[in-house]
Structure 1
Amino acid sequence: MNETYVECLVKKKTPIYMVFLKILSMVLAVCFVLVGFVFLPALIIGAAIGVGAYFLYLNADLEYEYLYVDKEIAIDKVMAKTRRKRVAVFDVGKMEIMAPVKSWHLDNYKNRNDKVTDYSSGEEKQPDKRYVFFYEGSKKIIFEPNEEMVKAIQFAAPRKVFKD
């Protein structure tokens, strides 16, 4: 069989408000637990805030893993390097076009009202390595593949993928 396998991992930039919320929730949880030794209902509130802090911790440290296997792009979300969740699978055959974010090839698609989903690092680097692809006429996906993955997808769909 002629299968192509390419893997790429991209760390999402943590927003400053998430860092602030993470620290604030941990401090509040510790304070309520300490007060809870004297006043019991504060212990329950401290435990609830601690559970919330745990979920904030998981969602503050995100990475996206892109897998390209035999004309299929799978995107997994890795939370705090401990939990993995498959968020999307895309068939390259149903993809309309794939090009860099600021490509002139995407000019015909600018006025469309598609649902935008961002699986990239969330920041514009120099040079910008993010790509956009339109899927099934209703989705606009932003992601940040490496050069090897772009070549593999271009090999599978040469008329749909542009590198500019």
Structure 2
Amino acid sequence: MDDVFVERLVARKMGPKEMGIKALIALAAVVLIFVSGTLGAFLMPLVAAVALVGGWYLWVLTNMEYEYSLSNGDLTVDAIYGQRRRKNRLEVNLRERLELMAPLSPRYQSELSRACVRVLDVASAPNADNRWFLLLRGENGLTRVIFEPDQRMVDAIRRCAPSKVQTEW
């Protein structure tokens, strides 16, 4: 059997929630700088510097990307915050646990309406064009993963579990 490795990086688009978080970070930094003016000549520059550096650090962390890696039937999804911190969101062997993979379209509404214990949305935006879903069997029930694979990844997953991948929109 051939070794398969496919990787895709998807940048999360900013929505209202992310914009609100960034606005709160900026507002908190500005308030801290103004409040530091009442602390005296020694503490004011220190608090202002901490507010600016902390605000910048939090601002950068709100930029998020998702990395999908498929290696010999094992799918790994990581969230990357500010191009610095990585958090594993999903690690699954598709040959053992994949029940269905299909495009997110009205044609598969009955499969999408199935009760799931966990729903993991790792797509760039809720209304992105090329979204697919995975239904994964788990110990506690089904998990639904919504993601944006490219054609190479779809083909590689089809090679891992050919009867489980539906490609018709």
Give the TM-score normalised by the residue count of structure 1.
Answer: 0.82
**TM-aligned CA deviation for residue 39 of structure 1:** 2.5
Match of 1:101 in 2: 104
Q: How many pairs align?
A: 161
Q: Give the alignment's Cα RMSD to 1 decimal.
A: 2.8
**TM-aligned CA deviation for residue 29 of structure 1:** 1.4
- Alignment identity in percent? 29
Say whether the 8 Å CA contact 1:18–1:56 is kept in structure 2: no
Amino acid at match of 2:6: V
Distance 2:81 2:21 in 1: 17
**TM-aligned CA deviation for residue 80 of structure 1:** 1.4
Give the TM-score normalised by the residue count of structure 2.
Answer: 0.79
Say whether the 8 Å CA contact 2:116–2:144 is kept in structure 1: no
Match of 2:14 in 1: 14
Per-residue CA deviation, residues 125-150 of structure 1 (Å, 9 max, x unaligned), is: 4xx31110111142111011110000
Match of 1:92 in 2: 94
SS at match of 2:156: helix
Distance 2:92 2:32 in 1: 46
Alignment of 1:4-153 (within 5 A): 4-39=4-39, 47=50, 51=54, 54-55=57-58, 57-58=60-61, 60-93=62-95, 94-102=97-105, 104-105=107-108, 107-125=110-128, 128-136=129-137, 137-153=141-157
Distance 2:54 2:142 in 1: 37
Distance 1:77 1:145 in 2: 15
Q: Which ranges in structure 1 are unaligned for 5 or more consecutive residues?
A: none
Q: Which ranges in structure 2 are unaligned for 5 or more consecutive residues?
A: none
Distance 2:78 2:123 in 1: 12
Runs of 4+ in structure 1 displaced over 3 angstroms? 40-57
Distance 2:13 2:48 in 1: 31
